[in-house]
C-alpha cells in the first residue's frame, strides 16, 4: 500500500511537471510567432528612419521620408503579419502550390495552362520604372525571408 502511494505521488508529480513544461513551451512558441510591435528594429535595407505606429486595433501606420522606405516598410509589416499568406499567394500565382501539397497538382496544371505567371511577367515588363521600384521595395523583405527559410 505504501509503495502504491509513493508510485502515485511520483506519477502525479511527473504529470504536473510535464504539464507545466508543455504549457510553458506552448506559450513560448505561440508568443514567438507574434510580430514585434514596439521598440526599435534596425533593417539594413532602409535608406532613412521609418516610424511604424499601430493603433488600438493593431492597424499599422507607416511614416517614411522616401518612397522606397515606405514600400519596404509596408512589405515588412505585411510579412510580419502575413508572411505565410504572401508565400502561399506567390506559389498559387506561379502554379507551384503542389510543392506544399501533392493534392494541388491539378490546380497547378490549370493555373499554368492559363499562364498566370507569364501574364504577370508580361505586365511587369511594361510597367514604369517607378512602379517596378515600388514593387521591388515591397517584396524585398519577403524575398529575403523566404530565401533564408
For the segment 3-29, what is each residue's pLDDT rounded down to a tens digit? 888 888 898 999 999 999 988 888 777
d(CA 2, CA 55): 61
Q: Which residue has the higher pLDDT, 143 or 84?
A: 84
d(CA 47, CA 93): 31
- pLDDT score for 143: 67
d(CA 115, CA 95): 9
φ/ψ region of 48 (left if φ > 0, alpha if ψ in -120 to 50, else beta) reads beta
- pLDDT score for 45: 80
C-alpha cell at 40: 526599435
- pLDDT score for 145: 61
pLDDT digits (tens, 9 = 90+) for 34-83: 777 777 887 778 889 999 999 899 899 999 999 999 999 999 999 888 88
- pTM for this structure? 0.67
pLDDT at 149 over 60: no
Banded pLDDT at 87 (limits 50, 70, 90): confident
- pLDDT score for 79: 87
Amino acid at each position: 500500500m505504501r509503495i502504491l502511494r509513493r508510485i502515485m505521488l511520483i506519477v502525479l508529480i511527473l504529470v504536473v511537471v510535464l504539464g507545466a513544461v508543455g504549457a510553458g513551451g506552448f506559450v513560448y512558441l505561440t508568443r514567438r510567432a507574434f510580430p514585434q510591435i514596439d521598440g526599435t528594429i534596425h533593417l539594413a535595407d532602409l535608406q532613412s528612419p521609418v516610424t511604424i505606429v499601430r493603433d488600438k486595433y493593431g492597424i499599422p501606420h507607416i511614416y517614411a521620408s522616401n518612397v522606397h522606405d515606405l514600400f519596404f516598410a509596408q512589405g515588412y509589416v505585411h510579412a510580419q503579419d502575413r508572411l505565410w499568406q504572401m508565400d502561399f499567394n506567390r506559389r498559387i500565382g506561379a502554379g507551384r502550390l503542389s510543392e506544399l501539397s501533392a493534392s494541388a497538382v491539378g490546380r497547378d496544371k490549370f493555373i499554368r495552362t492559363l499562364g498566370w505567371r507569364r501574364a504577370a511577367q508580361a505586365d511587369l515588363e511594361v510597367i514604369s520604372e517607378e512602379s517596378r521600384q515600388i514593387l521591388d521595395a515591397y517584396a524585398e523583405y519577403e524575398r529575403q525571408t523566404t530565401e533564408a527559410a
